[in-house]
Amino acid sequence: MNMNRSKQSWLLIAGTRTCMAVLLAIALVGPQPARAQEDGKPTIAPSAEATSAAAMRVETKLDELEEWIAGGEENSKKLLHWQGYLKLDDLREELDAEEPDPAVVMRILRQFRTEAKGLHMGPFRAVHNALNVWSQQLKTPKGSDLADYARAARGDHTPITQDELISERAKLRSSVQALEQSLNVTPYAGTWKEFLQWELLEPQLSDESKVTRESLTDLEIVLRRFRMNKPGLEIDAFRNVADRLEAFIPTVTWATTAKVRDASAAYDGLLKSLEEQLDRHGRQPTGETQWKVSRVYELAKQLGDSPQLVSAMHSRLSQPNLFVRVSEGMINRTAQRPVTNQQPVVDCILGTSIRGTACTQGRVTFHTQPADDQIVIQTLFTGQTASNTIGYNKPVNIYSTGTTSFNSLKQLVFTDDAFYVGAASAKAVTRTRINRISKTGGQFGRKLVEKIAWKKAGESKGQAERIAASHAETKVATGFDEQVFPAMVNGRKRYLEKVITPLMRRALKPEYLRMHSTSHGIGIDTLIARSTQLGASVPAPPLMPGHDLSFQVHESAVNNYLPLALAGVTISQDETDLAPKVTGDAPPWLNRISEVRKSAKDVTDEVVDTLEPVLADPNADSDPQEGDEGEHAFQPWSITLNNDFPASASFGDGNLAIRMRASLLASGEREFKNWDFIVTYKFVKNDNGILLRRVGKIEVLPTGFDPEWDKKMSTTKSGFRNTLAKNMNDRADRGESFPKEIPIPPITIPDLGTLTLRQIDSEAGWLTLGWGLP
């Protein structure tokens, strides 16, 4: 637990310098191979002969159908009708094509699945069945590249019908009604509805409600409220509504699209774009390729139209993106503790009543055990108990001292589902020394009685020591159980409250979380991603050996969280003497920036100093002219972050690149949409801490522009970009905006000291950090 607190405080300090450093703090939160994805294995493509045979069967059945429809000269009009309706000429073109288009074939197949009168008859069904087999074979890519899967998925989309929309809305309405019933029996119904912005949700529940761009935006706002990290939102009634909203929004969006344009063509256009981005991502992944690939993956999974594509992408692009390793030595240095206590002795051995005191001194140590799918730790309690007792057995009292050496073993098992505690076992050896025996009840016969007592005590000493050791074993094991069990219960409670429950509220509870241990330490591998998000596309690089604590985090883990935290957040300032404010569904840590070392006004003033002159006049010279100083009048300004992908972090070449995406920049009456800012910092070892040193120029790019792949930009955008970039870099060079250096203090653990930073690498999308014990 000390380790976790130190990590949190370390990240918090890093977040106090600038808004950029806050994003860095999120980023710094021996790899194992990803688990096998049986359902994600690429399907073996059918042979060319099989595909050709399927096409030939379609052609045969098509010939039979047209001959059956024609049936003579008088039916030529009927044949022309069906040829047009079923697009049979297009089908013959695909049959003759060297590479048939799966999208065209799928669209023709859908025509055969309509409810047109007569399509249930045998000749039509024969073509339909043959066409269905051929279509499925075409949709299984011949190559193994994901881009091939994207191409093969064209034509997958089935337009959403009004009946499907009504059904999905009914499910949403039912979940909302169930939540409302639960809320109405509490005194907090009004408070919850206000927080969830119920007034935006309620109008969307009617089947007669009109779908507009504004209504869809309202639903997105409500969904973000349901997915905030607010206590209570982990309750099933809230999560059910959130899940139904996530299903309803794409359904209503694409049902509406189908009313105004060809939804299938729109879906195919996205797949065509995906094909290009997957090819780029495979050759040179960037933050933009990750974003663009993830967007289509999310849509395809939500609509359920391209299961083969989704399965293949999940298999290859959703590897674990966070690895944590802790050595056995680290566990013992931070968790082992000495045990010292004094307690009364009350016992009865061989008819002798024993009273006295005992002082125990011992130590608890931890030994990790090999386990593939759980963390197993053997806890060892070793020590000695020194006793000073009086034994009462008329007619004598026996004064003794003793030493009991013991050890007790207890096995602890940790999984994501539960923490288990094994029963303690103990072994003890007792050695006693009789110091004095005295007769009670007067002096008559004292010497004789004491002599007999000494003899009997000596004869039974070995047996008495064995009985005492047995009693000690029971007491040690019972005491060990009584101490460890409550600690495990509290540990499980903290794990659920601090880790699992917040992730559940955000719908980020990992679908893959592997805890495991070896004889050298413990490890946790996980995939930080929602069900519609992707993870790492490449395995983590090798760790240097010998670390006591290490983290390997892929940029996808950071980027999967940022939309939940920053989507649609606006930073604005209305008056010069008022601090800038944060509005929107911002997380508490962003709102608390003003309380930590550097105020929010200090942070955002840096941004406005950079942006305000350019926003006022993007074509203005960035260098101040003589006599201009102090004459620039303040104008209200605001920066609204992108809803889909407000910011991203990229790890590579020893650097951290942070890209902030502004959907809207406004100053006074002027507005500029969809501009991004990229700031790059180099990781530098600074004793046992880390120094982030800004390198290169601050880049300004239109949202979605990928400098690794995109080479052309419009003249208008290029001019504005150059001016804005020049202003930002001039001010940054003067120390007025993004800092040149951001120091991140070392990890210091109470009663242990400062950890030694041994490894810091940023490459291929992974940040690797490793420390040793002081």
The ranges assigned to domains in the chain are 2-33+527-625+633-772, 46-139, 326-501
Q: How far apart are the first and last CA of the chain?
A: 18
User: Residue 72 above 70 pLDDT?
Assistant: no
What is the model's pLDDT at position 571?
78
What is the model's pLDDT at position 120?
87
User: What is the rounded distance in angstroms from the CA atom of residue 44 to the CA atom of residue 419?
Assistant: 42
Burial class (CB in 10 A: 0-12, 13-18, 19+), 257: middle
Read off the pLDDT of each residue in 250-257 and give the average, rounded to a whole number: 93
Pairwise pLDDT comparison (658 vs 136), residue with the higher score: 658
What is the model's pLDDT at position 382?
95
User: Residue 98 above 70 pLDDT?
Assistant: yes
Pairwise pLDDT comparison (599 vs 282), residue with the higher score: 282
Q: Determine which helix (DSSP H) or strand (DSSP E) holds 651, and give its type and residue range.
A: strand 647-652
269 contacts: CB under 8 Å, gap ≥ 6: none
pLDDT tens digit string along 322-331? Answer: 999 999 999 9
Order of strands, sheet of 513-517, starting from the edge strand that comes earlier in the sequence = 513-517, 521-526, 322-327, 549-554, 766-772, 756-763
- Count of all residues that appear for the chain in the document: 774
Mean of per-residue pLDDT scores for the chain: 84
Read off the pLDDT of each residue in 603-609 and give the average, rounded to a whole number: 45
Number of other residues whose CB lies within 10 A of the CB of residue 631? 8
What is the model's pLDDT at position 30?
34
pLDDT tens digit string along 204-213? Answer: 999 989 999 9
What is the model's pLDDT at position 613?
44
Pairwise pLDDT comparison (215 vs 627), residue with the higher score: 215
pLDDT tens digit string along 465-477? Answer: 999 999 999 999 9
Provide the pLDDT confidence category of residue 80 given band limits of 50, 70 and 90: confident
Read off the pLDDT of each residue in 231-254 and give the average, rounded to a whole number: 95
The encoded tokens of residue 663 equal 């959907």
Q: Which of 541, 538, 504 is nearest to 762 (CA)?
A: 541
What is the model's pLDDT at position 720?
79
User: What is the rounded distance in angstroms from the CA atom of residue 463 to the CA atom of residue 725?
Assistant: 88
Lowest mean pLDDT among 15-29, 151-165, 606-620: 15-29
Provide the pLDDT confidence category of residue 587 given band limits of 50, 70 and 90: low
> Please, which residues bridge with residue 677 across strands?
660, 700
What is the model's pLDDT at position 385?
95
Give exposure, 208-237, as e/b (b: 16+ Cβ within 10 Å): eeeeeeebeebbbbbbbbbbbbbeebbeeb
Lowest mean pLDDT among 32-46, 384-398, 536-550: 32-46
Read off the pLDDT of each residue in 155-159 and give the average, rounded to a whole number: 87
Q: Please give the full DSSP string across 73-86, using - where no structure is assigned.
A: GGGHHHHHHHHHHT
CB-hemisphere CA count at 13 Å for 35? Answer: 14
Read off the pLDDT of each residue in 532-556 and give the average, rounded to a whole number: 94
User: What is the rounded distance in angstroms from the CA atom of residue 351 to the CA atom of residue 393?
Assistant: 7
Please say whether the beta carbons of 302 and 246 come within 8 A: yes
What is the model's pLDDT at position 579?
66
Provide the pLDDT confidence category of residue 9 given band limits of 50, 70 and 90: very low
Lowest mean pLDDT among 411-415, 487-491, 575-579: 575-579
Lowest mean pLDDT among 248-252, 588-592, 637-641, 655-659: 588-592
Pairwise pLDDT comparison (148 vs 521), residue with the higher score: 521
What is the model's pLDDT at position 351?
92
pLDDT tens digit string along 188-203? Answer: 999 999 999 999 999 9
Q: Determine which helix (DSSP H) or strand (DSSP E) holds 344, and give its type and residue range.
A: strand 337-349
pLDDT tens digit string along 47-59? Answer: 555 568 888 999 9
Please say whether the beta carbons of 260 and 282 come within 8 A: no
Backbone phi and psi for residue 391, each to the nearest 5 degrees, phi listed first: -100, 130
Q: Which of 201, 208, 202, 203 is nearest to 222 (CA)?
A: 201
Provide the pLDDT confidence category of residue 143 given band limits of 50, 70 and 90: low
What is the model's pLDDT at position 389?
95
For the chain, how long is the longest CA-to-CA vector? 143
> Please, which residues bridge with residue 523 across strands?
325, 516
Please say whether the beta carbons of 467 and 349 come within 8 A: yes
What is the model's pLDDT at position 627?
40
What is the model's pLDDT at position 117?
86
Pairwise pLDDT comparison (241 vs 258), residue with the higher score: 241
User: Residue 34 above 80 pLDDT?
Assistant: no
Read off the pLDDT of each residue in 288-299 and give the average, rounded to a whole number: 92
Helices and strands: H and E segment counts in the chain: 23, 23
Read off the pLDDT of each residue in 538-543 and give the average, rounded to a whole number: 93
What is the model's pLDDT at position 722?
85
User: Residue 39 above 70 pLDDT?
Assistant: no
Cα angle 348, 432, 474; round to 5: 50
Lowest mean pLDDT among 105-119, 425-439, 515-529: 105-119
Provide the pLDDT confidence category of residue 591 given band limits of 50, 70 and 90: low
What is the model's pLDDT at position 645?
86
Most confident of 143-152, 365-374, 503-512, 671-680: 365-374
User: What is the rounded distance in angstroms from the CA atom of residue 590 to the CA atom of residue 567?
Assistant: 12
Read off the pLDDT of each residue in 294-308 and give the average, rounded to a whole number: 91
87: left (phi over 0), alpha (psi -120 to 50) or beta: left
Q: Tell me, what amino acid is at 177?
A: Q
Pairwise pLDDT comparison (6 vs 370), residue with the higher score: 370
Backbone phi and psi for residue 412, each to the nearest 5 degrees, phi listed first: -115, 135
Q: Which of 703, 413, 542, 480 is nearest to 30 (CA)?
A: 542
Please say whether the beta carbons of 646 and 616 come within 8 A: no
User: Residue 268 above 50 pLDDT?
Assistant: yes
